[in-house]
Amino acid sequence: MEGRNSIHPPSSTFKYLQSIFYHLPSIMKSSISFVCQECGYDSPSWLGKCPECGTWNSLREFKTQKSLHSQGLAGRANLKTFESTENVKPRTLGEIKSSEKERLSTGFSEMDGVLGGGIVAGSVILLAGDPGIGKSTLLLQVGLTLAQTNSNVLYVSGEESVEQIKLRALRIMEHPKQKEQFKLLSINDADTIVEVVQDAKPSLLIIDSIQTMESRAVGGMAGSIAQIRYATALFTRLAKTLSIPTILVGHVTKEGMVAGPMILSHMVDAVLFFEGEKTTNTRILRSFKNRFGPVDEVGIFSMEEKGIIEIKNPQHFLREYSSKTSGSVLASTLEGTRAFLVEIQGLVVSSKLPIPRRVVSGIDGKRLELLLAVLQKHISLPIGMMDVFVNVAGGLKLTDRGTDLAICLSLFSSLKNIPLIGTVAIAEVGLLGELRTVPYLEKRIKEAQKLGFKNIISYNAHKTLSEAIRSLGK
């Protein structure tokens, strides 16, 4: 009973909690915060495991200058100077200028398509990709092309010196015209960039890369989550207030995109990924998020000796197709909403190893394991003790299940040593050996027919893998 008496009555408990909440902001106004390096979760105290993403030992200490608290969020003080009061006045729809017409063309119709018709005024685009994939080259070309049409382009690099960029520019275009419209700056200081941009008011701003940008207002080194977020917020505000379209380059780090571009995706208008195997020339520009356009469009490019060129010809991936030998089957795959024909090459040889090798290039290794199991079980192919190699010619990375049947047939063709010249296969293969239909089947078939291929094996004609194999008549 004594214990009971010592408990605060409900009203005083409420007052006690109220006083804690009242003082909480001042208690929390610490100049140190702990930020998760994986997802950017911000905590006032150190924690062993991030409560947001569950990663262990990922919180790092950051000292935030007191002045930032007084400035408010994300460089508000820095940007206040150029924010006009007009922006604070509520306006009717009729009073708002439509920016639809103000799209800037990048000079690459493939890139314009991915963006939904070009770059929207004041939009912020994050161009993400592996280091060395060609992001700087692509943007330099975009910048140089735009500069030729009287647009002022400011290319800010935090990674390379202006001399290095000039060398690259000379490699791309031997005599860049309208050079005065294209300005370069090699700097890491985000605050100074804001000042330069306010003065120069370029029609396109390129920041290469967001990971190298640093502001005095935040603690931590360039590349830390706090710095990346701050710089992105700063440039986004700058872009919106001055209506300057901005492209930010973001490297995808080894740990995955989480530590880089993904934590920024909600802050920007569009996230584009530039992908490809570094060993091949093919590059694909994909949109992951786009406030002003579709997300299922892709742009296809090729990294050449003198810069990047766009690939509009659907036959591009078949330019080396001349196969008369066994192991080659064509697949009609979908990239975005476009169908492309690609050559799948399979090689099956007897293995000398206790665990046979499965080597893939351009397809998922786990998918191959599954297809091999189906071939063994439902077609009785003695493939278990064989080394299996699969390659997608032309450098495309396929995740499309519509290419399953082509993979299976290429392995069958190699194992039985039966050439399947000009055969196009389109279907997903299920675990029971059944064929399944795939999105845009008619479009894929049409693309194959357009290129003159008549022998098309698809879900339309056959419902099981064994039926499809029997139809080969071999």
Contacting residues toward ligand TYD, per CB under 6 A: 129, 131-137, 168, 171-172, 303, 305-307
Nearer to ligand TYD, 164 or 376 (CB): 164
Nearer to Mg ion, 116 or 250 (CB): 250
The listed partner (Mg ion, ligand TYD, none) that binds 133, CB under 5 to 8 Å by sort, is ligand TYD
Least Å distance, CB 302 to ligand TYD, is 10
The listed partner (Mg ion, ligand TYD, none) that binds 451, CB under 5 to 8 Å by sort, is none
Question: Closest by alpha carbon to 399, among 365, 370, 348, 435?
Answer: 365
Least Å distance, CB 128 to ligand TYD, is 10
Q: Which residue has the tokens 């005065």?
A: 180
Nearer to ligand TYD, 306 or 470 (CB): 306
Nearer to ligand TYD, 217 or 222 (CB): 222
Least Å distance, CB 141 to Mg ion, is 13
Nearer to ligand TYD, 204 or 303 (CB): 303
Nearer to ligand TYD, 47 or 172 (CB): 172
Cα 246 from Cα 129, distance rounded (Å): 17
The residue nearest ligand TYD at its CB is: 136
Question: Closest by alpha carbon to 205, among 196, 216, 214, 213?
Answer: 196
242 phi/psi in degrees, rounded to 5: -95, 0
Least Å distance, CB 391 to ligand TYD, is 22
Nearer to Mg ion, 123 or 136 (CB): 136
Nearer to ligand TYD, 37 or 209 (CB): 209
Torsion sign across C-alpha atoms 92, 97, 99, 101: positive
Question: Closest by alpha carbon to 235, among 119, 84, 126, 96?
Answer: 126
Burial readout 145-158 (b: 16 or more C-beta within 10 A, e: otherwise): bbbbeebbbbbbbb
185 phi/psi in degrees, rounded to 5: -145, 130
137-to-161, 165, 179, 377, 398 alpha-carbon distances in Å: 14, 9, 17, 48, 25
Burial readout 51-81 (b: 16 or more C-beta within 10 A, e: otherwise): eeeebeebbeebebeeebeebeebbeebbee
Least Å distance, CB 274 to ligand TYD, is 7
Nearer to ligand TYD, 74 or 206 (CB): 206
Least Å distance, CB 145 to ligand TYD, is 14
Using DSSP, state whether 273 is helix, strand or coil.
strand
Cα 18 from Cα 12, distance rounded (Å): 10
The listed partner (ligand TYD, Mg ion, none) that binds 303, CB under 5 to 8 Å by sort, is ligand TYD
Q: Is 91 exposed, middle or buried (0-12, 13-18, 19+ CB in 10 A)?
A: exposed
The listed partner (ligand TYD, Mg ion, none) that binds 116, CB under 5 to 8 Å by sort, is none
Least Å distance, CB 200 to Mg ion, is 22
The listed partner (Mg ion, ligand TYD, none) that binds 129, CB under 5 to 8 Å by sort, is ligand TYD
Least Å distance, CB 187 to Mg ion, is 15
The reply to whether omega before 209 is within 30° of 0 (cis) is yes
Least Å distance, CB 184 to ligand TYD, is 15
Question: Using CB under 5 A as the criterion, which residues of the chain lie in contact with Mg ion when the complex forms?
Answer: 136
474-to-203, 426, 427, 452 alpha-carbon distances in Å: 63, 19, 20, 23
The residue nearest Mg ion at its CB is: 136
Q: What is the DSSP letter of 464?
A: B
Whether 428 contacts 435, CB under 8 Å: yes
DSSP letter for each residue of 362-417:
SS-HHHHHHHHHHHHHHS----TTEEEEEEETTSPPP--GGGHHHHHHHHHHHHHT
Nearer to ligand TYD, 64 or 136 (CB): 136
Question: Closest by alpha carbon to 282, among 327, 323, 322, 333?
Answer: 333
Residues in the chain: 474
Least Å distance, CB 306 to ligand TYD, is 5
Least Å distance, CB 129 to ligand TYD, is 6
Whether 42 contacts 224, CB under 8 Å: no
Nearer to Mg ion, 183 or 358 (CB): 183
The listed partner (Mg ion, ligand TYD, none) that binds 444, CB under 5 to 8 Å by sort, is none
